[in-house]
Chain A
């Protein structure tokens, strides 16, 4: 069911480093967002959707925290993580709805 957000020719290597694989966000885009004044993980997420895809930030948040540290000097360990959002692992609508039916039934 998934659609690719940005099309890229099959088999064509690029010099671009992808930071958020789920939303296909590059290192350059993240650095630019930080330089534009988005100095928290929450704010970078709002402008680039990093951490809003299938892995919910498991892959990218630590890397972005480090990039924020590099750009602003705010230590990665002191940065607040975005609010964790249930269901944490993607679950089908049908399954969640059935669970509800069973609870009520």
Chain B
């Protein structure tokens, strides 16, 4: 049986663990990242890659402004392409209540310096040529929102960890977290290896509750199944992520690198659990919704459908920070926004773990907060 030591052990090879591990390694820490299966095998590799600062929670807006800044410099930072593209996000309003909610959100977002506007139906049509504007009252549009490729970003961070002297171990499932006198000491893997470190970061996404339990820490995340599909590639038709929040709405974007359209909708009746099977309902309902919004897409062929988990926290905001066990940290519960939050959350967690303080106050994402304040722009 071998033993290894690190400054910080990161559990989870999705975007959160990869980014946190990278920024820790950049600060000079010896990082060992333990991934149960292979990188991006959980939620990150199943997400559609949207990135936006249009939220209503002030800390989410501030974290996302930082994330957008980091995404903007990521290709230079990681030395590889990540298909980062600021094509914007357009949230459509088809009723007065939704329009008012967007106007209120825009008011909050502008306080933090986000350039976002409520644009007319005619402007929506200019931003998305071919948009069906029947019943449309306008849209909340932010041109600096965008997209990137989740695989390229995550693999880029992981390569960075290795370049900076850290290790990324795949097929390495943690089955025990050892603490002594209220302080984390080591983790053990299913293969029986023990890794010792003064800091352990639980970035296990949908499995963060299980990892938490191993340390005696309650991490309230619950997985919901969300389905997606991707079409064949097309010539560039429009730039932004189009979001329709109606009960029978959907959201989709054209991938800048490949030209595929990729999208999802949130089912009205949630499908709880970590299952990632696909449904025939989605395969027919999603196309109907996409074609209703942009009729000219009707001839485009669907290549694949799949599903992934949203790892939901009780209020839809991330769970980030310390836990009652000293040295045991959590960054999970990203509630469907892990990829976009990833760079900034990773960097903030690295600050917290490495020097005990963060450049943005993370209290509102703390594990022991009051969960009464839900995010409106889910």
Contacts and interface: CB of A to CB of B under 8 A. Distances in A.
Interface of A: 1-3, 5, 37-38, 40, 42-43, 46-47, 49, 52-54, 56, 83, 85-87, 90-101, 103
A47 B155 contact: yes
A96 B286 CA distance: 9
B305 A86 contact: yes
B278 A100 contact: no
Given A85-B304, A92-B298, A97 B287 contact: yes
Interface stretch (B96-104, B232-240, B351-359): B232-240
Provide the main secondary structure of the chain B interface: mixed
B303 interface: yes
30 contacts: A1-B232, A1-B233, A1-B300, A3-B259, A5-B258, A38-B38, A40-B38, A43-B38, A46-B39, A46-B45, A54-B232, A54-B303, A56-B303, A83-B306, A85-B278, A86-B283, A86-B305, A87-B305, A91-B301, A91-B302, A92-B302, A93-B291, A93-B298, A96-B284, A96-B287, A97-B284, A97-B287, A97-B290, A98-B288, A99-B284
Nearest to A42: B38
A1 B298 CA distance: 12
Given A47-B151, A99-B284, A103-B284, 12 more contacts: A1-B232, A1-B299, A2-B233, A42-B38, A87-B305, A90-B232, A93-B291, A93-B298, A94-B298, A97-B284, A100-B284, A101-B288
Kindly list the 6 A-B residue pairs having the minimum CB-CB distance in the complex, ordered from nearest.
A94-B298, A97-B288, A90-B301, A100-B284, A85-B304, A96-B287
Interface of B: 38-40, 45, 151, 155, 170, 231-235, 258-259, 278, 280, 283-285, 287-292, 297-306
A1 B302 contact: no
Contacts of B39: 46
A95 B301 CA distance: 9
Nearest to A96: B287
